[in-house]
Amino acid sequence: MRLTHQYRLRLTKQQIATFEEWLELCRRQYNYRLAERFNWWERNRCDADRCSLEACHLPELKDKPNRWSQQRDLQNTKELFPEYKDVSGHTLQDVIARVDKTYNLWVKGDTNGKRSGKPRFKGKGRYRSLTFPDPIKPQHIQGKFIQLPKIGKLRLILHRPIPDGFAIKIATVTKRADGWYINLSLHDPLVPEQTPPIPTDENTLGIDLGLKAFLVTSEGEEVAIPQYYRKAEKHLKRLQRQLSRKKKGSNRRAKAVKRVAKAHLKVANQRKDFHCKTAKRLLSKAQVIAHEDLNIRGLAKSRLAKSVTDAGWGQFLQILSIKAASAGCLTIAVNPNGTTQSCSGCGATVPKTLADRWHTCLVCELELDRDHNAAINIKHLAVGHPVGKAQEMPDAIAGVTEKLALSR
């Protein structure tokens, strides 16, 4: 079983200066290794479809830089730039691993074949985390101090103890607007994986995400949408206006940038706290949570983009899935087609526009809120009951959001 705990660090001025220097060195190393791959790509490109292979000679490919060749070249980097000798070797290797991952996502794509955009070089201050992939031994954590390679003891706020039996596999130090944090990746192979439950009418809860209310459950409960960004928008606008008046490169501008970053971080923390508490409350009521498989990226490009982004549906569903996996519960994503238009009582189609907020079925005379009706339909799809033309789909895997399709 794997867990991740985050703790706040209380660093000395010397430790902060050391981490700042390491971040800058890692940023330069990231850009240099990424440039190596781009240069290889440009030098070995050939428009083979635009020239005759009989008349033109194709040059031999040069050695392609990969993760392992670039890691071997770190020794030369340390000889040319002695300041890299002060940085942990495994931390530098993690920098190259990040380059390898982002480059391959652009060239090859992920396991589903979906490619990401072209990687970009990181500007000053854009490299914000240092990873220590070495397992930390129990004797390296003494009270409120943790010892890391080549940096020594760091004081942390141990607001919750590390569970017994869990070993620290990876430590990541992150710089944020309000301070420094350390994320500890914990692992205990002796904790067995829990068997996922089978969706039934008794243990399943359907939820319908929306903008009028954050979500409505199949039991009729409505969770209000907090709109943290909307409430802080006036304050953010004032801080941004003050920032625009400061001279670039001045100390006052740097302070104004930090104030804007802290204000945005506060909104993000409020939203994440709300998502975590809402997910925990839902999982305390049911073992299986069914939700719509929404195209959140598409909705974020519509005229409702600000409201959709402020609601943070993607982050909430991710948190819900992770918490469900750790608690031995299950999340299921169903196809949203027909969940709003179909009647949850008889399955008849009841056409509605976006302005129609009340569901009234002329066949079975069922009347209820449209979001409540959709939540019931989502639950029926997850359990396997027919909703309109919906058909039963295969079981899902614990902690993994799985799509259930609708037949037409």
- Nearest CA to 404 out of 378, 370, 374, 375 is that of 378
Q: Kindly state the average pLDDT of the residues 255-260.
A: 95
Determine how β-strand 288-292 pairs with β-strand 222-223. Answer: unpaired
Query: Residue 57, Cβ neighbours under 10 Å: how many?
Result: 8
Tell me: do 171 and 211 sit in the same domain: no
Tell me: do 359 and 398 sit in the same domain: yes
Tell me: do 135 and 209 sit in the same domain: no
Of 187, 218, 243, the position where a domain reaches its end is 187
Tell me: do 145 and 209 sit in the same domain: no
Tell me: do 9 and 131 sit in the same domain: yes
Q: What percent of the chain has pLDDT over 70?
A: 90
Tell me: do 176 and 82 sit in the same domain: yes
> Which of residues 337 and 96 earns the better pLDDT score?
96
Task: Tell me, yes or no, whether 198 lies in a domain.
Answer: no
Q: Kindly state the average pLDDT of the residues 304-321.
A: 92
Tell me: do 277 and 386 sit in the same domain: yes
Tell me: do 129 and 215 sit in the same domain: no
- Nearest CA to 325 out of 396, 395, 399 is that of 399
Task: Tell me, yes or no, whether 100 lies in a domain.
Answer: yes
pLDDT band at 274 (very low <50, low <70, confident <90, very high): very high
Residue 93: the pLDDT is 95
Tell me: do 178 and 221 sit in the same domain: no
Residue 55: the pLDDT is 55
Task: Tell me, yes or no, whether 52 lies in a domain.
Answer: no
Distances from the Cα of 1 to the Cα of 89, 139, 283, angstroms: 28, 22, 19
Task: Tell me, yes or no, whether 199 lies in a domain.
Answer: no
Task: Tell me, yes or no, whether 108 lies in a domain.
Answer: yes
> Which of residues 64 and 391 earns the better pLDDT score?
64
Tell me: do 210 and 182 sit in the same domain: no
Q: Is 348 in a helix, a strand, or coil?
A: coil
The alpha carbon dihedral of 338, 341, 342, 344 has a sign of positive
| Largest pairwise CA distance in the chain | 81
Domain CATH code at residue 297? 3.30.420
pLDDT tens digits, 380-389:
888 886 555 4
Tell me: do 171 and 212 sit in the same domain: no
Residue 353: the pLDDT is 82
Q: Which domain holds residue 285?
A: 204-226+269-404
Q: Is 385 in a helix, a strand, or coil?
A: coil
Q: Kindly state the average pLDDT of the residues 170-199.
A: 88
pLDDT band at 198 (very low <50, low <70, confident <90, very high): confident
Tell me: do 208 and 347 sit in the same domain: yes
Q: Kindly state the average pLDDT of the residues 317-334.
A: 90
Task: Tell me, yes or no, whether 317 lies in a domain.
Answer: yes
pLDDT band at 94 (very low <50, low <70, confident <90, very high): very high
Residue 405: the pLDDT is 39
Residue 58: the pLDDT is 58
Count: domains in the chain: 2
Task: Tell me, yes or no, whether 237 lies in a domain.
Answer: no
